Amino acid sequence: MSVSPSASAPAPAPTTASAPPTQAELLDFVRRTAADAELIASLPLDPEGRTWVRLEGPGGSEAWLIGWPPGTGTGWHDHAESVGAFVTAAGELKEYSLAARLPADGWKTLELTDGVDRERRLPAGKGRAFGRHHVHEVLNESTDEHAVSVHAYYPPLPQIRRYSRVGQVLRLEQVERPEDWQ
Ligand SMILES: [Fe+2]
């Protein structure tokens, strides 16, 4: 693709291909991808741990196909400034999230107020989009069934902040770069 418009022609109107993908577009992408049975079936599954395959997301987004053995999960984390979407393609996932905006920096522990916890069951075909600073953990709570999901993030994940949680107290444990997360 040409990077500079012709001097004699007006600059082309921005296209959706050059605009940052929206949450809705990311959700549409993960839904369409999750419906690709051949792709979903191509993900290697490992009973000992999660498996990942990197996908080409729309508009320069970062996308992943992830396999979740029974009982595995992410732990509490957020995705900093990235927005994203994910959908369960097989099995069922559970998302626990916080309906609260956390301070970005300058804290180590934070006591949550009552009523900020949300949870949603995501059986195959169900997903969600999320905005910046979304805090959640995602689990496969099944005792016997693998789950597979498709995720997309934009901008590509700059960092993931990981938290431990005891009761209502959240503690920032580490900040991971994407290369640590794989
Ligand atoms: Fe996440």
The per-residue pLDDT string of the chain (182 residues; one tens digit each, 9 = 90 and over) reads 334 444 444 454 445 557 899 999 999 999 999 999 999 999 999 999 999 999 999 999 999 999 999 999 999 999 989 999 999 999 999 999 999 988 888 999 999 999 999 999 999 999 999 999 899 999 999 999 999 999 999 999 878 899 999 999 999 999 987 666 55
- Is residue 14 included in any domain, yes or no? yes
Q: How far is the CA of 15 from the centre of ligand 1 (A)?
A: 29
Task: Write down the pLDDT at residue 72.
Answer: 97
pTM, rounded to two decimals: 0.86
- Is residue 105 included in any domain, yes or no? yes
Q: How far is the CA of 146 from the centre of ligand 1 (A)?
A: 18
Burial class (CB in 10 A: 0-12, 13-18, 19+), 170: buried
Q: How far is the CA of 181 from the centre of ligand 1 (A)?
A: 11
Q: How far is the CA of 87 from the centre of ligand 1 (A)?
A: 12
- Is residue 4 included in any domain, yes or no? no
Domain count, the chain: 1
Q: How far is the CA of 83 from the centre of ligand 1 (A)?
A: 10
Which domain does 27 fall in, by range?
Answer: 10-181
- Retrieve residue 46's tokens: 């490992």
Which residues lie closer than 8 Å to 20 by C-beta, 6 or more apart?
Answer: 59, 60, 154, 155
Task: Write down the pLDDT at residue 104.
Answer: 80
Q: Residue 48 sits in a domain of what CATH number?
A: 2.60.120.10
Q: How far is the CA of 18 from the centre of ligand 1 (A)?
A: 25
- Is residue 2 included in any domain, yes or no? no
User: What distance in Å separates the CA atoms of residue 72 and residue 81, rounded to the nearest whole number?
Assistant: 25
- Is residue 5 included in any domain, yes or no? no
- Is residue 53 included in any domain, yes or no? yes
Q: How far is the CA of 2 from the centre of ligand 1 (A)?
A: 35
CA distances from 12 to 16, 19, 176 (A): 12, 13, 39
Task: Write down the pLDDT at residue 4.
Answer: 41
